């Protein structure tokens, strides 16, 4: 990394010396400043690939510098150095646009990982712009334009993100878009939906065991996405909090510390404040995971996006089924815009998959959508009226699992493959839905 300039701002001479030695050994050219005024002067004279600033400065604070750099030098990532007991200050810095933070006493391994990720940002942004459709949500509604703008900003950061949205709104896709636009895009994007697991299996899935690699180890260097995080038992909340705070876990295979470089994205179909009130979710973990809260709009608030979404999903279905995408007629598009979508985008895809199967000459008409009837011949609208959203979705899920089991002649392994889920997830859903 020849001629790569990094600015370090700290009024403690020993910290400055440690950082200068560490960064110089990485081949970087290090500039230092003891206060806010000197930092602004250096920024005006040089172009820096990264700034590292202490939170407490003699003539101001790190938050002020973070805001200044993001406003005046938006292409320069800034990370903050903070004492371990003042993580809330670092969280505030992340909300104001800091790339990441590192705690005192400084871990050289953590610092190096932070620097490497920050220096990848220009290459990451160039690569992301080459694949426009892959790296944004489909649609041009006001809600989606605003969300795409937020996702672009979040991709530059290492901050933990909490996604709040109804079932089927595409929280997993949003998490993947953040990952694909980030400096971590060449590492693993590892996902886990806690709603598909028996609580007794969660520890092994997340932290691993002597015979299984856990989610956090799989994603080292990349991004972890945990859906339905509110279902995590209290004892595992403590373990996850430790893993995030100390950036390490105990390797169950060796008993040694396993250092982690992981970005956390979590989600639930309801705000975490609700589970905070009943005491089932720890406040400390809430503040760690809810650094950047992001609301995912339901499909009923994106009516104008439905035609674009339908065409996009038909292209996806065509690729997956190995056939040209079906065309969709105007009367079918109008019918789709009028539907209420309690299952959101997931339901839209199911409707289109059914239409692709039923339509003639690869053209989908309104009658192919079968929006007037459910599987039993009754109105979906009337069938939904006396059910909660959760009950409605569970009934759809129960029907799909039953259909897959019948098609697989009772073979659960084959049924899981047909459904695109793991055998363990299917076993848990069968138990939860009373299909034993």
User: Among residues 304, 229, 303, 301, which one has the least CA distance to residue 271?
Assistant: 229
* Domain 5-119, CATH among 3.40.50.2300, 3.40.190.10, 3.40.50.10680, 3.40.50.300: 3.40.50.2300
What's the whole-number mean pLDDT along residues 325-348? 91
Domain 139-295 in CATH 1.10.3720.10: no
- 272-317, pLDDT tens digit by residue? 888 888 888 999 999 899 988 999 999 999 999 999 999 999 999 9
User: Among residues 357, 355, 304, 360, which one has the least CA distance to residue 334?
Assistant: 304
pLDDT the model gives residue 181: 87
User: Among residues 286, 328, 324, 289, which one has the least CA distance to residue 307?
Assistant: 328
Residues 34 and 376: their CA atoms lie apart, in Å, by: 73
pLDDT the model gives residue 380: 44
Contact in structure between 246 and 286 (CB atoms under 8 Å): no
Mean pLDDT of the chain: 85
**Percent share of the chain, pLDDT over 70:** 91
- 53-106, pLDDT tens digit by residue? 988 888 888 888 988 998 898 888 898 888 755 667 777 888 788 888 888 878
Does residue 378 have a pLDDT over 50?
no
Q: Do the domains at 139-295 and 299-371 have one common CATH topology?
A: no
pTM value?
Answer: 0.72
Q: Which 8-state DSSP code applies to residue 399? A: H
User: Among residues 40, 86, 30, which one has the least CA distance to residue 60?
Assistant: 40
- Determine what percent of the chain falls in helix, strand and coil, rounding each to the nearest 5: 55, 15, 35
Buried b (16+ CB within 10 A) or exposed e, 168-193: bbbbbebbbbbbbbbbbbebbbbbbb
Q: Where are the domains of the chain?
A: 5-119, 139-295, 299-371
Residues 118 and 54: their CA atoms lie apart, in Å, by: 17
**80 phi/psi in degrees, rounded to 5:** -115, 150
Residues 67 and 58: their CA atoms lie apart, in Å, by: 17
User: Among residues 335, 245, 341, 231, which one has the least CA distance to residue 287?
Assistant: 245
* Tokens encoding 228: 């339905």
Residues 370 and 360: their CA atoms lie apart, in Å, by: 14
Residues 222 and 186: their CA atoms lie apart, in Å, by: 8
Contact in structure between 332 and 296 (CB atoms under 8 Å): no
Give the length of the chain.
436
Does residue 327 have a pLDDT over 70?
yes
Contact in structure between 100 and 158 (CB atoms under 8 Å): yes
User: Model confidence at 410, in pLDDT bands (50, 70, 90)?
Assistant: confident
What kind of fold does domain 299-371 have according to CATH?
Helicase, Ruva Protein; domain 3 (1.10.8)
């Amino acid at each position: 990394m020849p001629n790569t300039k990094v600015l370090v701002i700290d009024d403690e001479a020993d910290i400055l010396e440690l950082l200068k030695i560490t960064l110089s050994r990485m081949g970087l050219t290090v500039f230092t400043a003891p206060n806010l005024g000197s930092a602004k002067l250096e920024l005006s004279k040089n172009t820096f690939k990264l700034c590292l600033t202490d939170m407490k400065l003699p003539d101001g604070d790190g938050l002020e510098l973070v805001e200044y750099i993001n406003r005046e030098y938006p292409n320069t990532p800034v990370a903050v150095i903070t004492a371990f007991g003042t993580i809330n200050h670092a969280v505030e810095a992340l909300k104001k646009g800091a790339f990441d933070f590192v705690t005192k006493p400084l871990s050289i391994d953590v610092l190096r990982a932070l620097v490497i990720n920050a220096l990848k940002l220009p290459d990451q942004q160039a690569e992301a712009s080459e694949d426009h459709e892959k790296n944004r949500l489909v649609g041009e509604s006001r809600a989606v334009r605003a969300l795409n703008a937020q996702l672009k900003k979040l991709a530059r950061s290492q901050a933990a993100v909490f996604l709040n949205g109804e079932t089927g709104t595409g929280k997993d896709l949003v998490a993947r878009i953040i990952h694909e636009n980030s400096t971590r895009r060449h590492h693993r994007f590892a996902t886990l939906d806690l709603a598909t697991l028996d609580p007794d299996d969660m520890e092994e899935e997340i932290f691993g065991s002597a015979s299984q690699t856990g989610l956090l180890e799989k994603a080292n260097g990349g991004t972890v996405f945990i859906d339905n995080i509110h279902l995590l038992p209290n004892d595992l909340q403590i373990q996850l909090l430790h893993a995030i705070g100390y950036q390490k876990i105990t390797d169950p295979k060796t008993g040694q510390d396993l250092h982690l470089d992981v970005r956390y994205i979590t989600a639930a179909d309801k705000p975490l404040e609700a589970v905070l009130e009943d005491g089932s979710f720890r406040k400390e973990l809430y503040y760690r995971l809810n650094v950047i809260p992001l609301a995912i709009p339901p499909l009923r608030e994106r009516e104008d996006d439905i035609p674009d979404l339908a065409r996009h999903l038909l292209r996806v279905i065509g690729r997956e089924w190995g056939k040209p995408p079906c065309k969709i007629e105007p009367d079918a598009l109008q019918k789709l815009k009028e539907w209420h979508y309690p299952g959101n985008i997931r339901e839209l895809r199911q409707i289109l998959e059914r239409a692709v199967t039923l339509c003639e000459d690869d053209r989908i008409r309104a009658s192919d959508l079968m929006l007037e009837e459910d599987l039993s011949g009754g109105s979906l609208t009337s069938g939904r009226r006396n059910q909660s959203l959760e009950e409605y979705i569970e009934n759809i899920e129960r029907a799909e699992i039953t259909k897959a089991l019948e098609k697989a002649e009772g073979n659960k392994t084959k049924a899981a493959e047909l459904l695109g889920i793991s055998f363990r997830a299917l076993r848990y859903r069968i138990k939860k839905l009373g299909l034993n």
